[in-house]
Amino acid sequence: MSEETGFQTMGRASGGGEIQPIGVGMLGYAFMGKAHSNAFKKLSYMAWPPPLMPRLVAIAGRDEAAVSEAARRYGYERAVTDWHELVSDPEIELFDNGGPNNLHAEPTVLAAEAGKHVVCEKPLGRDAAESYEIWQRVEKTGVVALCAFNYRFVPANRLARMLIESGQLGEIHHFRGRYLQEWGTTDAGVWRFDKSLAGSGALGDLGAHVIDLARYLLGDEIATVSGVTATFKPGREVDDAFEAAVQFEGGTVGTIEASRFAPGRKNSFQWEINGSKGSLAFDMERMNELYISEGTSGFRTKLVSEADDPFWSWWWPHGHIIGWGDTFVHELTHVLAAIAGQDTIAPHGATFEDGYRAAEVCDAIVRSSENGRRERVEYRG
């Protein structure tokens, strides 16, 4: 489908014409598979008219009974236990990778090389090298590719980016971001604690989100990191937390942190930005709210739900808040718009280069933790 066709489809849709379908193949049916499947179904009528109409072709997973049940649940036409079947399926035009981190690279690259557009969950790869490889190989194929840093698609975060970009905050002096959860004490043998599967712990899982959002909000690159990682649970292979002081290319300084050992913090991705003309703050547990201090006036709670707030033309009367799952509705609609040629992944969606860059920062934190030095982040490409 050419971009032009996509755009015309859009035009026809509002006029009542047919919305062109796009075949979707999903890898994974657990947490992310569920979140993305919900989003594809919900955007079909909520982000109306959608740029393309998702057709849920197939879903892949290793447990045959479970993946069959998932297919039935979400309405995929078929369930497969080998993801290669998704790659070879000509009816699949968009490959969505919600599998564990060790399954990000190969399926995503092969799908792209098979000409499918790709969405890949974060972190892109398990380290910078793997992420770079994914990016480079997918880049060559020319398909549309998004690294699913969904917090860019929180309306409050999009609004924050717009305010900063417009100059309303002036020169940015500080970025402080922390992503705190509390479930690290559990001993469940989940893949997130297995280094070969996950790559890292809180760093790649939570820290990558902080890093990506920092880059997105500021439109600036992290230049140096000075940090430590920590593992609290004896015998655990991956980090439970990290702490880092950071400098951005543009002179902003701050801290980035993440932990799975913060009791009372469920999914608390908080950030604060101080500029010469004002400040912004946010907490994902209250994701509909953006805290804005115009100059030194004190923070006001803006409930980001007005008709002209980002993404809100699709939703409810103002004040009727949306949820975490809805960030994926925004994100995958954005992908469809990019495929349809109505938009581009950058700057609002995370490209695979963005995914790679976040990985470089993560790696630099690991190096800094190991060698005790402030590490300059060197970006390739």
- If binding is defined by CB under 8 A, does position 298 make contact with its own copies? yes
Q: Are 367 and 375 in contact (CB under 8 A)?
A: yes
> Which among 352, 302, 348 has a CA at the least distance from the CA of 152?
348
Give the residue from 367, 336, 346 showing the smallest Cα distance to 42: 336
Site residues for its own copies, 150-179, by CB under 8 A, read: 171, 173-174, 176, 178
Is residue 334 involved in binding its own copies (CB under 8 A)? no
Candidate list 136, 141, 268, 342; residue touching its own copies; CB under 8 A: 268
Strands 375-376, 222-230: pairing kind = antiparallel
CA 127 from chain centre, in angstroms, equals 16
Stretch that binds its own copies, among 115-123, 138-146, 208-216, 265-273 (CB under 8 A): 265-273
Q: How far is the CB of 129 from its own copies (least distance, A)?
A: 24
Return the SS3 of 380: coil
Give the total of residues touching its own copies (CB under 8 A): 94
**Cβ distance 356 to 124 under 8 Å?**
yes
Minimum CB separation from its own copies for residue 368, in Å? 7
Residue 195 interacts with its own copies (CB under 8 A): yes or no: no
Of 111 and 244, the one with the shorter C-beta distance to its own copies is: 244
| Contacting residue, 152, 215, 265, 357, with its own copies by CB under 8 A | 265
Residues in region 41-100 near its own copies by CB under 8 A: 41-42, 45-46, 48-49, 68-69, 72-75
* Cβ-contact 309, 288 below 8 angstroms: no
Residue 247 binds to its own copies (criterion: CB under 8 A): yes
Q: Which is nearer to its own copies, 351 or 368 (CB)?
A: 368
Q: Among the candidate windows 94-102, 155-163, 292-300, 335-343, which touches its own copies by CB under 8 A?
A: 292-300
Is 330 a binding residue for its own copies by CB under 8 A? The answer is no
What three-state secondary structure class fits 173? strand
Nearer to its own copies, 135 or 261 (CB): 261
Enclosing H/E stretch for 339:
helix 326-339
Binding mask 1-40 for its own copies (x = CB under 8 A): ---------------x--------------x--xx-xx--
The tokens describing 131, both together, are 């992420």
Q: Which residues contact 61 (CB under 8 A, 6 or more apart)?
A: 27, 28, 29, 33, 67, 70, 79, 81
- The alpha helices in 155-280, defined as continuous H runs, are 155-165, 195-198, 202, 208-218
Q: Kindly state whether residue 196 participates in binding its own copies, applying the rule CB under 8 A.
A: no
Place of tokens 């026809």: 12
Segment interacting with its own copies (CB under 8 A) among 98-106, 117-125, 245-253, 340-348: 245-253
Is 305 a binder of its own copies (CB under 8 A)? yes
